[in-house]
Structure 1
Amino acid sequence: MGKPSIFSKDYDERMKKRKRRRTILFLVITLIVIGAWVSQGINMKNIVSIKKITFFNRKSNLNPKNNEKTLTDNNGNSKQEEKQEEKKEEGYNFSLSSGESVKVIYESIGKDRKFKYIHPLESKIIYDISPSGKLITIYDKKVQRIYSMNIDGKVFDITKPSYTSTNGTFSISREEQLKTNPSYIWCESPKFIDESTIAYVSQLPWFNKNTKYIWTIDLKNNIHKNIQNLEGNEIKFESLNEKGLDIIIDKEKFILKASGEILK
């Protein structure tokens, strides 16, 4: 719009309108410029933030402490990859005097191995596993022998081979006694009290009585020891706990410690 003539009748009013239009136009342009500047500043801030997050994620993927990977899920949350050791079951073959063959099963987790059970499960073989799982006892009922097997598969016959009276005047071997009296109980029911001590039931030291007694085997030196003041017609070993081995003798309960101490 051109500038009105100074001699125009409404010159003053037209000049006022012209100034208002210029002012409004200036304000509009100023607002547009400010809006564009503010918008550009926000976008730059977001770009910087994204760069920081990307750098942080790259950095967190390296875990020098345990040298394990750190994964990131869809939400950007990091989670540590779990490594699970593979479990394997293997076994050692063991043959009884009856001709029955079983497999002594152990479980491997990495380098750690522990005995678990004897296969087949329906086998009536009597066995017991030590608290650590590193030893197992196997009882051969037909010939009344107690065997110990370590986690490497080595087998030891830990049966008491013979009995000699306290004064040394009488001695008899296991084979001789069982040949003379096949129903005699030389040993039965071996049970761990701790890692180096096994308890078992026997009619020793008597040969003309049906009373049963408790003996222990020290695996460190294979010494057999009779537990005094524990006898009965029926002896049953129960569970092993922190106090010792629970025993039921003629319906009365006792606790036997590895040291030979008896608790009621």
Structure 2
Amino acid sequence: MSKPSIFSRDYEKIMKRRRRRNIISIIIIILLIGIVLIYFKCDNKFGDIKILNRLTSVTKIFKTEKLYLTSNKKINDRSNNKNNDLKNNKNNDLKNNKNNDLKNNENNDLKNSDDKENKNTEEINNDEEDSPQNINTVKFSLTDGQNIEASFYIVDGKRYFSKIDSNNDISFDFSPSRKGLVLCSLKNQDMFYATADGSLIEITKEKYVSSSKKEYPKYEELKKNPKYIWHKDPKFIDEYNIAYVSELPWIDDRHINYLWVYNLKSKKHRYISNTKLQGHKIILKELHGDFLNLLVDGKSFEIDSEGIIK
């Protein structure tokens, strides 16, 4: 409580009330102290024992509390240790997994490296197949007197054509697998199918039979008209079908090119009657998957082994 100003009119009254309150407070405190002393002094003979018991109880409470805190600390420590163990185990597992992953990745890298090396080895082997010491040659004698020399290489006991001497009067094409070769003489227009083991089969269309059953032998027709196209520029459509250009089925001077297909299995020549595949100039080009590309008077088409336009 703040002290009143000495210039106040009620200064004396306020100070008297304050002194009176202070005196009453002191008296009350003295009385309380006296009552406490009388209580302890007048208590029975076991008063000291009760006080001691109270002190003992308090001590036990403190000990129990200490034991509780200690026990609780141990439990918490064990729990923390367990959690730490679990955490450490988890970290170890993660570390082991990471190490295993790194090891596996390293193994995979090594495996990939080995695979790559093996692949490179295969590529080298393939290159070796085309090397001079691994190239073999085979010769074919045609009916026009030409001797054709072709190169081949061997893989797993199988022979594959590599190239052919192009300094000859022939047109030729390799089959998609390069196991077969078609040859057409530019001198007498005879056509052949060859394999790298030296086999040579003539597939010439010896004569044409008209719808009226009239026969037109190749030899006689070319003798009368040497510029007539009987077989020209054969190309493989697949392993067994060979397309070629011819002026057949018309034996005259119109000079129109038509498309024909020879099948190695059936040994038959088939005329493709689609008018889109007829023109003054047909150029057989390259394979696009299962289709042969060709140009008919400058227009591009793709046909399958049946001669059907894609």
Matches of residues 200-219 of structure 1 in structure 2 within 5 Å? Answer: 200-208=244-252, 209-219=254-264
Aligned to 1:262: 309
Task: State the partner residue of 1:117.
Answer: 163
Moved more, 178-187 or 197-206: 178-187
The residue identity in structure 2 corresponding to 1:216 is: V
Structure 2 CA distance for partners of 1:159 and 1:100, relative to 1, 3 Å? closer
**1:95: Cα distance to partner?**
2.9
Q: Which residue of 2 aligns with 1:237?
A: 284
Paired with 1:159 and 1:97, the residues of 2 have a C-alpha distance of 11
Partner amino acid for 2:196?
Answer: I
Q: Distance in 2 between matches of 1:248 and 1:177?
A: 27
CA distance in 1, matches of 2:144, 2:221: 20
Structure with greater helix share of residues: 2
Cα shift at 1:104: 1.2
1:187 to 200, 216, 231: 231
Show the counterpart of 1:155: 200
Taking a change above 3 Å as real, the CA distance of residues 176 and 122 of structure 1, as seen in their structure-2 partners, is closer
Q: What letter is aligned with 1:171? A: E
Which structure 1 residue ranges, 4+ long, deviate > 6 Å from structure 2? none
Report the number of matched residues.
182
Matched AA of 1:136: L
| AA at the equivalent of 1:197 | N
Structure 2 distance, partners of 1:164, 1:143, is 20
Larger C-alpha radius of gyration, 1 or 2? Answer: 2
The Cα of 1:149 is off from its aligned counterpart by 0.5
Q: Are the structure 2 counterparts of residues 220 and 243 from structure 1 closer, same or farther at C-alpha, using a change threshold of 3 Å? A: closer
Give the distance between the partners of 2:287 and 2:233, measured in 1 at CA.
Answer: 14
- State the Cα distance separating 1:243 from its structure 2 match: 4.1
Q: Which residue identity is paired with 1:182? A: P
Letter in 1 for 2:141: S
In 2, Cα distance between equivalents of 1:193 and 1:217: 10
Describe the superposition over 1:101-152 as per-residue Cα deviations: whole angstroms up to 9, x where unpaired: 2311111234232111112x44453110000111001111101011000232
Cα RMSD between the aligned structures?
Answer: 2.0
Q: What one-letter code is carried by the residue in structure 2 that aligns with 1:251?
A: G
The alignment partner of 2:221 has SS state of helix
Q: How does 1:83-122 map to 2 (within 5 A)?
A: 87=129, 88-119=134-165, 121-122=166-167
Distance 2:305 2:299 in 1: 20
For structure 2, the residue ranges without an aligned partner over 5 or more in a row are 1-116
SS in 2 for 1:104: strand
Contact 1:243 1:255 in 2 (8 A): no
Between stretches 208-217 and 123-132, larger displacement belongs to: 123-132
Q: Which residue of 2 aligns with 1:251?
A: 298
Q: What is the match of residue 133 of structure 1? A: 178
Q: Report the residue type matching 1:225 in the other structure.
A: R
Residue number in structure 2 paired with 1:48? none
Sequence identity percentage: 34
What amino acid is aligned across from residue 195 of structure 1 in structure 2? E
**Change over 3 Å in CA distance of 1:103–1:184 after alignment to 2:** same
In the TM superposition, residue 180 of structure 1 has moved relative to its aligned partner by 1.3
